Structure 1
Amino acid sequence: MKKNITVLGAGAMGSRVATRLLEAGYSVSIYNRSRSRASALINAGATYCETPVQAVARADIVISMLTDDLAARAVWLDKKNGAMQGMKPGAIAIESSTLSIACITELSAVFAQQGISFLDAPVVGSRPQAESGALVFLVGGSQATLARVELFLSFLSSAVYHMGENGTGAIMKLAVNAFFGIQVAAFGEVTGWLKKSGIDQQQSIELFNKLPVMSPALQGISKLLASENYQPFFPIDLVEKDFAYMLKQAAQVNAQTPCVVATHKSYQQAIKKGYGGDNISGVVRLWGEC
């Protein structure tokens, strides 16, 4: 018998995860701040609940996919309607949002106090991977807890990596996003310089894609650039948020991150220019306009 699942958040990622679960025959309850965003899921068979505490009442597994720390704290920890107030004994909480380490540490401590099993399990991948079950989970928490939900996570993903104790999944996710963001910004700088130096942009992109210096991620970005497609698979607003979270934690452990600092400023500049809703690839417009 399939488990009862609650998905907290019906945004770009949560809605796609919920759809995949519904198509596989899971019983899915949904909470989203705006009911209208969940209308397609309701029509597909999901049970919509007005509050997080109502949404988790029957759940064996609760997975959260939210925007930021503020949203996560409100959904989990609100004293009246927070999901933590309504979870049944034995249920497992999975936080798959990209959050700060401070927020994950706080959630982990509160869940432990309440005797609730908790994993931080942010994902690598975007909307297409969520739809096809090809996400990658980076998990922090006990091996025993992970073992209880590994089949469930595997249904949504192509790989599940156990990074260590609570918080390590979140740390790894911020590292992945920062590394990706640095690559995209650097590519934008270089191709912008080439364009201003008289090299055809299409030609330079095609050449880069034939060389070993291009990562698979950058190859994907280059295809978007070639068609000037800035559809927000990973919006710049969220890229900047993740850089800020990483830098805050890096300062706490006295890590030197000059490349991250410099790149963060580029994404902040992109937001000031009105590109915050664009995909991460839109940062290249900074150097195309100089």
Structure 2
Amino acid sequence: MSVVKLASPSSTRIGFIGIGVMGTSMAGHLIKAGYKLNVFTRTASKADSLVSLGASFFKTPREVAQQSDVVISIVGYPKDVEEVLLNEKTGVLPGFEPGKISIDMTTSKPSLAARIYEEFKKRGAYALDAPVSGGDIGARNATLSIMVGGDQEVFDACLPIFNVMGKNVRLMGKAGYGQHTKMANQIAISSGMIAMCESLLYAQRVGLDCESVIQVLSSGAAQTFSMSNYGPRILKRTFDPGFYVEHFIKDLGIALEEASRMGLVLPGLIQTKMLYDILAADGKEKLGTHALMLALEKINGFDTANGERKTS
């Protein structure tokens, strides 16, 4: 059994399933790189911009798989991954021939990634788990970090595809290890987001010019992606999603589940999950992750409409 040959963009057909905040940009980069794209998304209108660039729209993941050499999926939740890839009637797997490759770029459960790998292997096909980090900005600028789990030869075959969408692409180990790496990433981001929001809240309360604070902190030891990219959005009271609160809650839940399974206690992760749950309970699950500031403002008696402290 050999991996399907991916000689050049013009001769490689890529299926793309999931046209969301990040998927639209990622798929667009592939088209511009010369790949023939076949797409599926549950809301057909979301694919209009890609169809206008030359992509072909199909009604099911299975139809996409039948017409593609490689199928990339980036959907919402593990249950969506399972439905898209493994559904016996409409999924990618029943549409695959031996040697074809599935790349799931959703942040999902490591155990599910390992099961998908085994199910595709039974059919003579291949599967990589390849979650990403970088949000809407990384997707738009093709600078995503891509963490991959699976076989070396399959990773090597797909590396030109990954390089179209990202700048830091690495095989982290066997199936599921891409997802484990993404859990480590989300754990680091979660507490970092609290720190960034608390820093700006402190600066605002004391009366500092927060734009200047962000510029200074972003050039020193406190520099983070969140500070540089989400800090300015917070000051503008712009909470549109680069990554949805509800999806981050899903990720943090997976990380806590994996940590518990390994006997790890991660207090920072527990605290962050609690704050995001508060945010979602307040009806803000469709906002971006930097909307965590709103939860902290509410706890501290600020008016979340403008970020100013309420007066009695």
TM-score where L is the length of structure 1: 0.93
Which residue of the partner structure matches residue 261 of structure 1? 270
Choose which of 122, 136, 142 in structure 2 pairs with 1:133. Answer: 142
SS of residue in 2 equivalent to 1:73: helix
% identical aligned pairs: 23
| C-alpha spacing 1:189/1:217, structure 2 compared with 1 (3 Å) | closer
Which residue of the partner structure matches residue 233 of structure 1? 242
Q: Deviations over 1:34-60 (max 9, x none)?
A: 211112212221111101111111211
Tell me how large the CA RMSD over aligned residues is. Answer: 1.7
How much does 1:135 deviate?
Answer: 1.5
Contact in 2 for aligned 1:191/1:201 (Cα 8 Å): no
* 2:86 is the counterpart of 1:77: yes
* 2:109 is the counterpart of 1:96: no
Contact in 1 for aligned 2:102/2:126 (Cα 8 Å): yes
Contact in 1 for aligned 2:143/2:167 (Cα 8 Å): yes
Q: Aligned ranges for residues 147-186 of structure 1 at < 5 Å?
A: 147-186=156-195
SS of residue in 2 equivalent to 1:12: coil
SS of residue in 2 equivalent to 1:81: coil
Where do 5+ consecutive residues of structure 1 fail to align? none
Choose which of 200, 204, 209 in structure 1 pairs with 2:208. Answer: 200
Where do 5+ consecutive residues of structure 2 fail to align? 1-7, 301-312
Q: Distance in 2 between matches of 1:19 and 1:243?
A: 29
Which residue of the partner structure matches residue 145 of structure 1? 154
- For 1:267, give the aligned amino acid: Y
Name the count of aligned residue pairs.
289
Choose which of 112, 126, 131 in structure 2 pairs with 1:122. Answer: 131
Contact in 2 for aligned 1:79/1:85 (Cα 8 Å): yes
Q: Deviations over 1:179-205 (max 9, x none)?
A: 112111122234334544x33362544
Q: Distance in 1 between matches of 2:219 and 2:18?
A: 40
SS of residue in 2 equivalent to 1:119: strand
Q: Deviations over 1:90-114 (max 9, x none)?
A: 1111111100223212212212222
* 2:284 is the counterpart of 1:285: no
Contact in 1 for aligned 2:244/2:285 (Cα 8 Å): yes
Q: Deviations over 1:118-173 (max 9, x none)?
A: 11111111223223322121011111111111112112211211111111110111
TM-score where L is the length of structure 2: 0.87
- For 2:98, give the aligned amino acid: P
SS of residue in 2 equivalent to 1:56: helix
